[in-house]
């Protein structure tokens, strides 16, 4: 993995492919490369490191061909290096391929191919596919691709150039996203829409188990068995500006500031005009099915898992259904207790997270009803789940998720109220209280974003901190977990979150003089106990930054500094109170000179297990 771009037409191939790769830099990568077919020969140029390194190599290269493929790689098999970068070729130089995903049986295939005389140049699983194509090829690349698809196991989005087919690009996908952009006498291939949005808004979204034969004047789609498929054209409604920084220094800061709009968009049309009920017309779950639900499993990874922890609290409170929040990478490998009436809720910003998709597919195979919460309409999760709640956050480019997280929370609150009302566990007055609070969040979020100067100052003061701790109780603890994750993933400061009541069970041993502690104290029912915990860390010399609601002047007596946040219903406070923690992480990363939008070792969407 991570980014794929392909082009066939009359434009400058180098500009189109490299420009498309640049639009995909947000996905995280460690090397890049490009292959073109020129004068009957394949030309492959690649480089470890940032895209600029590849561009430096291309300065003296004409690349005059009319078709090409490119790739930005995030290492899975083999260290980052020129040899391990994509595209990969076979021994004869007849084929060049780029690949997202993991070939799970590559070692077995490699041994077979080496025994047949193939020589490998890299450590990657991808190169196996190039040699396998060469081994199987009999002059018909279409049938060869079908045969290769039968031999390789795992997840893949494959795009192939062949010297013998100078007017065609072949593409296929299984469990890894791939789209085809449709133009006039030109066509495009990409792993994500921003790569080609400059040139077209009309795309085919390849479904799992499909392939495409792409020429400049036509695109034919098939199943992996070779059966023709008629595809609907999906029209992209957001423009290229939405994928640019819009004047902000980084995508992450832009996306933090976009949260009021993202929250508003995700709420729009989903609450009745009198704010008395949730409106989810696309939900196919019948009222009888909802009343029969005996348990909910929320399955997610990373930030989405943290959103699930908040969802657990509100779903249990409003709908009175037991909820388990499961880490997707662990879920399939234990015998979870499920019944025919268990609802599965999978959460994934991209809708392509490999572990989450695997859990989704297993649960569907067992006949369970799966509801996906995702930010991408045409994603695998959106297409494969029984029901979908789309979070209308718009494109999220920064690796560190911000607006996707807050809109995931919105979706979970709407779901909780909807289930609670149908199950008669939530009265009309109770539902209205929650929905009124949700409806006010866009305006309040605008006020919270204004805490940026304060969070920037704290970040500068803590720029040399080695450790930082976040504490909270109840919903505040779930928010603390997300705050700690944001800080460590982009600032590289070691950060941990703890349930404040657990301090005496070992955590206090980590508190030393001057260590920063961020204490969330936004839940009135737990406020006094939280203050007691704050005093425990203060007694050990910690510098404590407290977050609480406007008007609660009492907290200033127990902490070193306070951030006052707009007053809202305690249940929905997590949606607002995560924003200052996002800002703290952002400014800490900036102060330390880090690459905020592309933190080391991380990718935007983890599309391999």
What is the DSSP secondary-structure string of 223-259? ETTS-EEPPPPEEP-S-GGGGS-TTSSSHHHHHHHTH
Gyration radius (Cα) of the chain, Å: 25
**Helix residue ranges per DSSP H, 137-237:** 141-151
Q: In this structure, which long-range contacts are made by residues 272-280, counting pairs with CB atoms below 8 Å and at least 24 apart in sequence? A: 275/432, 275/435, 275/436, 275/439, 276/428, 276/431, 276/432, 276/435, 277/417, 277/418, 277/421, 277/431, 277/435, 278/414, 278/415, 278/417, 278/418, 278/421, 278/431, 278/435, 280/389, 280/414, 280/415, 280/418
Cα–Cα dist 237/253, whole Å = 23
Cα–Cα distance list, 196 to 144, 173, 187, 242, 342 (Å): 28, 18, 10, 13, 40
Domain 443-594, what fold? Rossmann fold (3.40.50)
Residue 551 CB burial class (10 angstroms; 0-12, 13-18, ≥19)? exposed
Query: Closest Cα partner for 417 from 267, 294, 261, 521?
Result: 267
Residues of the chain with pLDDT under 50: none
Place of tokens 């005389």: 117
Cα–Cα dist 478/578, whole Å = 10
Q: Do domains 2-242 and 247-439 have the same CATH topology?
A: no
Cα–Cα distance list, 247 to 250, 252, 253 (Å): 8, 12, 10
pLDDT of amino acid 389 = 94
Query: Closest Cα partner for 101 from 154, 151, 148?
Result: 154
Which strands, in side-by-side order, build the sheet including 369-374? 323-327, 295-300, 342-348, 369-374, 387-390
The answer for residues whose C-beta is within 8 angstroms of residue 346's C-beta and 6 or more apart is 298, 299, 300, 328, 356, 357, 359, 360, 370, 371, 372, 373, 381, 385
CA 18 from centroid of its chain's CA atoms:
23
CA 68 from centroid of its chain's CA atoms:
27
Catalytic: which of 43, 174, 486, 604?
604
Catalytic: which of 2, 221, 301, 363?
2
The answer for residues whose C-beta is within 8 angstroms of residue 57's C-beta and 6 or more apart is 45, 47
**CATH 3.40.50.10490 at 247-439, yes or no:** yes
Place of tokens 């369970």: 368
According to DSSP, the β-strands at 88-89 and 95-103 are antiparallel
pTM: 0.76
Helix (H, G, I), strand (E, B) or coil at 200: coil
Q: What is the DSSP letter of 347?
A: E
Which stretches of 436-542 are assigned E, i.e. beta strand?
Answer: 467-472, 494-499, 516-520
User: CA dihedral in degrees (421, 426, 432, 436; nearest 10)?
Assistant: -100
- For the packed helices 573-591 and 475-491, what is the interaxial angle rounded to 10 degrees? 20
Helix (H, G, I), strand (E, B) or coil at 295: strand
Cα–Cα distance list, 1 to 90, 177, 587 (Å): 19, 11, 29
pLDDT of amino acid 101 = 85
The answer for residues whose C-beta is within 8 angstroms of residue 151's C-beta and 6 or more apart is 109, 132, 136
Q: Where are the domains of the chain?
A: 2-242, 247-439, 443-594
Contact 172, 133 (CB under 8 A): no
Contact 450, 563 (CB under 8 A): no
Q: In this structure, which long-range contacts are made by residues 447-451, counting pairs with CB atoms below 8 Å and at least 24 apart in sequence? A: 447/566, 448/565, 448/566, 448/576, 448/577, 448/579, 448/580, 449/256, 449/257, 449/259, 449/260, 449/579, 449/583, 451/563, 451/565, 451/579, 451/580, 451/583
Q: Is 2 a catalytic residue?
A: yes
Cα–Cα dist 286/119, whole Å = 58
CA 472 from centroid of its chain's CA atoms:
26
Which strands, in side-by-side order, build the sheet including 31-38? 41-48, 31-38, 67-73, 2-8, 187-190, 179-182, 202-205, 234-235
Cα–Cα dist 66/81, whole Å = 28
Residue 87, preceding bond cis, omega within 30 degrees?
yes
User: CA dihedral in degrees (188, 193, 197, 201; nearest 10)?
Assistant: 80
- What would you measure as the largest C-alpha separation in the chain, in angstroms? 79
Query: Closest Cα partner for 315 from 404, 386, 421, 417?
Result: 417
- Domain 2-242: CATH superfamily is Aminohydrolase, N-terminal nucleophile (Ntn) domain (3.60.20.10)
DSSP H or E stretch at residue 561:
strand 561-565
Cα–Cα dist 96/87, whole Å = 6
pLDDT of amino acid 175 = 77
- Residue 537: both structure tokens together: 């860390």
Contact 82, 31 (CB under 8 A): yes
């Amino acid at each position: 993995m991570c980014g794929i771009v392909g082009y066939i037409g009359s434009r400058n191939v180098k500009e189109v492919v490299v420009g498309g790769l640049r639009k995909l830099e947000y996905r995280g990568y460690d090397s890049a490369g490009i292959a073109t077919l020129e004068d009957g020969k394949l030309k492959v140029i690649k480089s470890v490191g940032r895209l600029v390194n590849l561009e430096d190599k291309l300065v003296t290269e004409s690349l005059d061909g009319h078709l090409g493929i490119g790739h930005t790689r995030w290492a899975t098999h083999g260290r980052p290096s020129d040899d391990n970068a994509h595209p990969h070729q076979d021994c004869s130089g007849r084929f060049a391929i780029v690949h997202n995903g993991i070939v799970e049986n590559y070692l077995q295939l490699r041994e077979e191919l080496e025994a047949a005389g193939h020589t490998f140049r890299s450590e990657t699983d991808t190169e196996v596919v190039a040699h396998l194509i060469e081994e199987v090829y009999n002059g018909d690349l279409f049938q060869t691709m079908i045969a290769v698809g039968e031999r390789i196991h795992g997840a893949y989005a494959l795009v192939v150039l062949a010297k013998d087919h100078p007017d065609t690009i072949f593409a296929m996908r299984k469990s890894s996203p791939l789209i085809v952009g449709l133009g006039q006498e030109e066509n495009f291939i990409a792993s994500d829409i921003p790569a080609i949005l400059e040139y077209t808004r009309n795309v085919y979204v390849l479904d799992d188990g499909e392939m495409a034969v792409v020429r400049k004047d036509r695109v034919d789609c098939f199943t992996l068995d070779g059966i023709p498929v008629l595809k609907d054209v999906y029209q992209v409604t957001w423009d290229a500006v939405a994928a640019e920084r819009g004047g902000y220094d980084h995508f992450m800061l832009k996306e933090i500031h976009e949260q009021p709009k993202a929250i508003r968009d995700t709420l729009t049309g989903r609450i009745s005009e009198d704010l008395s009920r949730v409106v989810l017309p696309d939900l196919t779950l019948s009222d009888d099915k909802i009343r029969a639900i005996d348990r909910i499993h929320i399955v997610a990874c990373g930030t989405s898992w943290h959103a699930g922890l908040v969802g657990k609290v509100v779903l249990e409170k409003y709908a009175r259904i037991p909820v388990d929040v499961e880490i997707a990478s662990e879920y399939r490998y234990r015998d979870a207790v499920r019944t025919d009436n268990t609802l599965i809720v999978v959460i994934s910003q991209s809708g392509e997270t490999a572990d989450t998709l695997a859990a989704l597919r297993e649960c569907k195979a067992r006949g369970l009803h799966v509801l996906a919460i995702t930010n991408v309409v045409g994603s695998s999760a959106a297409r494969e789940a029984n029901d979908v709640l789309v979070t209308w956050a718009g494109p999220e480019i920064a690796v560190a998720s911000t607006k996707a997280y807050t809109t995931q929370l919105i979706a979970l609150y709407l779901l909780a109220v909807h289930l609670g009302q149908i199950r008669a566990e939530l009265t009309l007055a109770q539902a209205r209280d929650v929905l009124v609070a949700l409806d006010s969040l866009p305006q309040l979020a605008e006020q919270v974003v204004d805490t940026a100067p304060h969070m920037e100052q704290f970040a500068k003061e803590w720029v040399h901190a080695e450790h930082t701790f976040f504490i909270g109780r109840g919903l505040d603890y779930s928010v603390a977990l997300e705050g700690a994750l944001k800080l460590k993933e982009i600032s590289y400061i070691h950060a941990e979150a703890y349930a404040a009541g657990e301090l005496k069970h070992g955590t206090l041993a980590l508190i030393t003089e001057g260590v920063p502690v961020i204490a969330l104290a936004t839940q009135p029912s737990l406020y006094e106990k939280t203050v007691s915990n704050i005093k425990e860390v203060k007694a050990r010399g910690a510098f404590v930054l407290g977050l609480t609601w406007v008007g609660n002047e009492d907290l200033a007596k127990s902490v070193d500094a306070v951030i006052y946040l707009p007053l809202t219903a305690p249940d929905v406070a997590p949606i607002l109170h995560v924003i200052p923690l996002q800002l703290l992480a952002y400014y800490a990363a900036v102060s330390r000179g880090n690459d905020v939008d592309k933190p080391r070792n991380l990718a935007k969407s983890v599309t391999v297990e």
